[in-house]
Amino acid sequence: MNAGGDAIKLRYFSAPNCSGPFVDLVWGSDATASGHRAARRGKWVVLLEHPSLCYAAGDVWATAWQDTIDPPDSIEFDCSQSTTGVVSCKHVPASSGGT
């Protein structure tokens, strides 16, 4: 994750719209974020996830990214923050260097 300035609180939620179980992340001035979670996998079928990556916007969580994906072992995002404080993120596909 790419950032500058004060630390931004991020959460990777298991469901859309910043809902469901989550993993806390902190996106700090060193331009890194980290966290760990176990992916849920089906025994004979693919279980798709509908996760959302959200940031603290005052007293609420706002969506920076969400999609329908195959649960990855790890995931990478490229994020930026506008001058108004809005955070937006793009998933970096595994073929582009993320996993």
Q: Residue 98 gets which letter from DSSP?
A: -
Rounded to the nearest integer, the mean pLDDT of the chain is 78
Closest to 64 measured CA to CA, from 2, 7, 5, 11: 11
Strands (DSSP E) found in 28-97: 52-57, 60-66, 77-81, 87-91
Least confident piece of the model among 2-6, 19-23, 35-39, 71-75: 2-6
Whether the predicted pLDDT of 18 surpasses 70: yes
pLDDT of residue 1: 43
What pLDDT digit, counting tens, does each position of 47-86 carry? 788 999 999 998 999 999 999 988 776 777 788 888 888 8
Residues 81, 74: Cα–Cα separation, whole Å: 23
How large is the C-alpha radius of gyration of the chain?
13
Structure tokens at 2: 């790419």
Least confident span in 2-11, 66-75, 90-99: 90-99
C-alpha to C-alpha distance for 64 and 18, rounded to whole angstroms: 9
Higher pLDDT pick, 15 / 95: 15
- Look at residue 24 in the predicted model and tell me its pLDDT: 87
User: pTM to 2 decimals?
Assistant: 0.75
Helix (H, G, I), strand (E, B) or coil at 22: strand
